[in-house]
Structure 1
Amino acid sequence: MYLKTNILLCLLIIIFCQSVFSQICGEYDSINKTNAMDNQIVNDLPEPVVKYFSYVLPNKEKRISEVYLKHSGFFKTSLKSKWIKIKGEQHFLTKQPEFKWIGRTLMFKAVDQFINGKGSLKVRLFSLFPIVNEQGKHVDEAELLRWLGESVWFPTNLLPSENLKWLAIDSSSAKLTYSYKGLEVYYIVRFNENGEIIQLETERYMEKGRLEKWIGKVAEYKEFNGIKIPTHIEAIWKLNSGDFKYADFYVDTIEYEY
């Protein structure tokens, strides 16, 4: 009787171990299939985009789900104003387009965000007195554009999906489009010979009812956790009166969650 009990116990342990092993193998195969599927998707993209992903994601990283970023730099509030020092903290989500940015100077605190399909910009003087409270569809579009453009800091977010498409233009540029909750935005993306994104161009609302050409220039790529991203970004309005560069930021730290 004792021997039969031991044999039965051993059989149960073997069956349990086989079940766990099969589950682990299945999950591993699933991950591999996901990576292989992404590889196939990438290979079907326009030529400069394929080169870009090969450059920034050489190890075929998993998709990033959250990003925590800190930056420093300079900011201008108007064409005639002087540059002021600014520090910012930003949190991004990727499963749905969301972010929150908090920027601080000696004079003001600004909160820029896109949450649940709605954008807003709020600025307080000395962190106390409200001086800006922008909302509306023009802000929704601007904030969705910001989230999409700043995806160069977490490039798995630029892989094609139901909402995100890449369209061929030529050997050094492609059109990036994104649709979400009735909003449609785009960038003309330019690449250098190394495969780096160096410029994003679009039309944005500078204010309600005023659509202007906007350019983001990105440079100084560095590697973080096996991913290459630009650490210097400049934001420029292309106005009839001339260029208005209003932001000059450097990434200080960045952390990813998968």
Structure 2
Amino acid sequence: MQTLIALAVVALFVAGAVIYLNNQGRQMAFTTSRLVRELSEAPASTSAKPLLPQLVRDYALRAGGRIDGPAMFRARQSAVLVMKPGGAEVQLLAEQWTSTLASGFVWVAEGRMFGLPVRAVDAYTHGRGHFGVQALGAFPIARGRGVDFDKGELMRYLSELPIYPDAILNNSELSWREIRGGRVEVTGRLGTGSATVRFGFDREGNIVSMQADDRPRSVGNGRTVPTRWFGSYGMYETIGAYRIPTYGEVAWMLSEGSFTYWRGTLISCEPVSQD
């Protein structure tokens, strides 16, 4: 009798876990679709086009960008993520939707961490950052919200502008300035301030580097610290009508030295129909 009761309890537990996992999986899918819808519905702040340094305009046009070009792109990526110095590598496959008229993106990735399947959502829509990671499609293992995350996600959007020349030409929320040494900086505005990154060019006019002085870095317990952040771009290839970088690395400058935590390869990138 006791054996039958124990088996019944186990069966109920398993059934409950399955229902919970299915519900949580559907909830995360709903969140992703909602964020993508928010991204597609976000209007540009003004019809005016950004004023660009000639170096930046030349890059965008040579890369295939067009005034009044596509409003959104969908990309596929493969990437390697390292959570901490000396940590294990996490292999990821991801999809990303990126707006060219307003600052915003939605990134969804799947991989395995500690042997478990994980799904991550990273986004910036309507001026707010969103970050979450779930294991087994249901159990949250990381989450980020707040002013610092807003700034960090906007900086991520800025850092990926070399991949989206239409955004360089058409996103009027951004301001550009040429600085010394053949570099430029781009600034996006937040309700609580602004975020800026700088780009470096090679002799052919390709963007090959990025850096920022103060991207918020999570250090646990919901705390962040402003940290120097930098990256590189390479493997320029023709994808459809565009010639853009298809490989990138991103790193933090820590007290013990640089820590490259992200290496990614662009698999595909194409406009999304707004019909």
If the length of structure 2 is used for normalisation, what is the TM-score?
0.72
C-alpha separation between the residues in 2 aligned to 1:67 and 1:48?
Answer: 24
Report the alpha carbon displacement of residue 162 of structure 1 after superposing the two structures with TM. Answer: 4.2
5+ unaligned residues in a row in structure 1: which ranges? 1-33
Q: Does 1:211 pair with 2:241?
A: no
Q: Map 1:77-96 to 2 at 5 A.
A: 77-96=83-102
Q: Map 1:52-131 to 2 at 5 A.
A: 52-57=59-64, 60=66, 62-106=68-112, 107=116, 108-131=118-141
* Contact in 2 for aligned 1:160/1:166 (Cα 8 Å): no
Match of 2:155 in 1: 145
Encode CA deviations 1:173-198: one digit per residue, 9 max, x unaligned. 11111214344111111011111111
Q: Give the 3-state SS of the residue equivalent to 1:143 in structure 2.
A: helix
Q: Give the 3-state SS of the residue equivalent to 1:105 in structure 2.
A: strand
Give the letter for the 2:136 counterpart.
F
C-alpha separation between the residues in 2 aligned to 1:111 and 1:245?
Answer: 21
Give the letter for the 2:234 counterpart.
A
Q: Equivalent of 1:48, from 47, 55, 80?
A: 55
Report the alpha carbon displacement of residue 60 of structure 1 after superposing the two structures with TM. Answer: 4.3
Encode CA deviations 1:138-197: one digit per residue, 9 max, x unaligned. 000111111222122211211275421221213521111121434411111101111111
* Contact in 2 for aligned 1:163/1:180 (Cα 8 Å): no
Q: Map 1:174-193 to 2 at 5 A.
A: 174-193=184-203
Encode CA deviations 1:57-113: one digit per residue, 9 max, x unaligned. 3x7464220110111121111112122211111112233222211111123211111
5+ unaligned residues in a row in structure 2: which ranges? 1-46
Distance 1:47 1:61, change over 3 A: closer
**Alignment root-mean-square deviation, CA:** 2.2
Distance 1:141 1:81, change over 3 A: same
Q: Which one has the largest radius of gyration? A: 1
- Which one is further off, 111-120 or 159-168? 159-168
Match of 1:20 in 2: none
Q: Equivalent of 2:265, from 243, 246, 250?
A: 250
C-alpha separation between the residues in 2 aligned to 1:225 and 1:62?
Answer: 17
If the length of structure 1 is used for normalisation, what is the TM-score?
0.77
C-alpha separation between the residues in 2 aligned to 1:51 and 1:151?
Answer: 14
* Contact in 2 for aligned 1:76/1:246 (Cα 8 Å): yes
C-alpha separation between the residues in 2 aligned to 1:102 and 1:209?
Answer: 23
% identical equivalent positions: 22
C-alpha separation between the residues in 2 aligned to 1:255 and 1:134?
Answer: 29
Give the letter for the 2:180 counterpart.
D
C-alpha separation between the residues in 2 aligned to 1:191 and 1:115?
Answer: 29
- Which one is further off, 216-225 or 231-240? 216-225
C-alpha separation between the residues in 2 aligned to 1:250 and 1:49?
Answer: 23
Give the letter for the 2:211 counterpart.
E
Match of 1:29 in 2: none
